Amino acid sequence: MDTTIEPNILPERQAKPKWLRVKLPTGEKYTELRGLVDKYKLNTICTSGSCPNMGECWGEGTATFMILGNICTRSCGFCGVKTGRPEDVNWDEPEKVARSIKIMKIKHAVITSVDRDDLKDMGSIIWAETVKAIRRMNPETTLETLIPDFQGVKRNIDRILAVHPEVISHNIETVRRLTREVRIQAKYDQSMDVLSYMKSQGQRRTKSGIMLGLGETREEVIETLHDLRAAEVDVVTIGQYLQPSKKHLPVKQFITPDQFAEYKTIGLNLGFRHVESSALVRSSYKAQKHIN
């Protein structure tokens, strides 16, 4: 029997490589913010998503908050967020998020959300109101909005553009060939169109992210980088996909540090202003640096 394993393709239950091991977060700033999050029961993606970069980001005054509940109308094969019928919109949420940012003394906040295809406006009104509330309560805080595709409906995207976050991000997540399997209800070209439209409307800084390790080829990753530059995206993040549970898509490859370094070089040569590329990179990694 042929037991040859294709390069970088995982056999079952292979242990994570050493470069994916993370140290527990430490530091005075982290300890202070962790205490505030626990005391006031603040909801951050950093804690609920067990982000490996939490200590580093919090130490630099950056945190990520999710709005519009914790139940998504989509069922992407990579995502650990619950799928189902979401709860009613909480119209007090913008003030609560703004207050959390004030309590934590956040310098740069990333706001993201579940997909809300059940709503006529797909949640875009709450998105805009959240940005406005943060601006009122935290005028010195800079913002990145990591938005869904809003099904490509421009009037919904326009609501985000109208409140002028410093960065608007929308993740392409994977290469064209794997989009139907990985993102299911999303469309590769639609996401590219969203990114391109935002830049055409004068958005100063746009951003997107890709996960690797789902079975994509090197050529497909490079093609995706070319497509993102064609959409005039300024910042790209490239990280390792990790399986949230046995029900989710399996990891097919652990991408090596050298491969991530190569993709960073390729991205910079293509003209991206910033490329964050390593195994533990997530969408909001070093987000505060992407506004300049």
Residue 220: pLDDT band by 50, 70, 90 thresholds? very high
Instruction: Find which of 194-203, 236-245, 281-290 is predicted with most confidence, using mean pLDDT.
Output: 194-203
Q: Report the pLDDT averaged over residues 51-62.
A: 69
Q: With CA atoms as reference, report the closest residue to 66 among 78, 85, 82, 84.
A: 82
Q: How far apart are CA 126 and CA 132, in angstroms?
A: 10
Whether the pLDDT of residue 191 is over 80: the answer is: yes
Whether the pLDDT of residue 103 is over 50: the answer is: yes
What digits encode the pLDDT tens for the residues 125-142? 999 999 999 999 999 999
What digits encode the pLDDT tens for the residues 63-89? 888 899 888 889 887 887 788 999 899
Residue 45: pLDDT band by 50, 70, 90 thresholds? low
Q: With CA atoms as reference, report the closest residue to 213 among 280, 271, 285.
A: 280
Q: Does domain 23-291 have CATH number 3.20.20.70?
A: yes
Q: Report the pLDDT averaged over residues 261-271.
A: 98
Q: How far apart are CA 270 and CA 140, in angstroms?
A: 33
Please state the pTM of the whole predicted model: 0.87
Residue 50: pLDDT band by 50, 70, 90 thresholds? low
Helical spans, DSSP H, in the chain: 28-40, 45-48, 54-59, 93-104, 124-137, 154-162, 179-182, 188-200, 218-230, 257-270
pLDDT at 184: 86
Q: How far apart are CA 263 and CA 278, in angstroms?
A: 9
Q: Report the pLDDT averaged over residues 26-30.
A: 69
pLDDT at 44: 66
Whether the pLDDT of residue 3 is over 60: the answer is: no
Q: Give me the residue spans of the domains in the chain.
A: 23-291
pLDDT at 1: 37
Whether the pLDDT of residue 248 is over 60: the answer is: yes
Average pLDDT, rounded, for the chain: 87
Residues 6+ apart with CB under 8 A from 42: 36, 100, 103, 104
Looking up tokens 């794997």 gives 178
Q: Which of 53-62, 111-120, 260-269 is the least confident region?
A: 53-62
**37 with 143: CB under 8 angstroms?**
no
Q: Report the pLDDT averaged over residues 2-27.
A: 59
pLDDT at 5: 36
Q: Report the pLDDT averaged over residues 219-238.
A: 98
pLDDT at 162: 98
Q: How far apart are CA 126 and CA 134, in angstroms?
A: 12
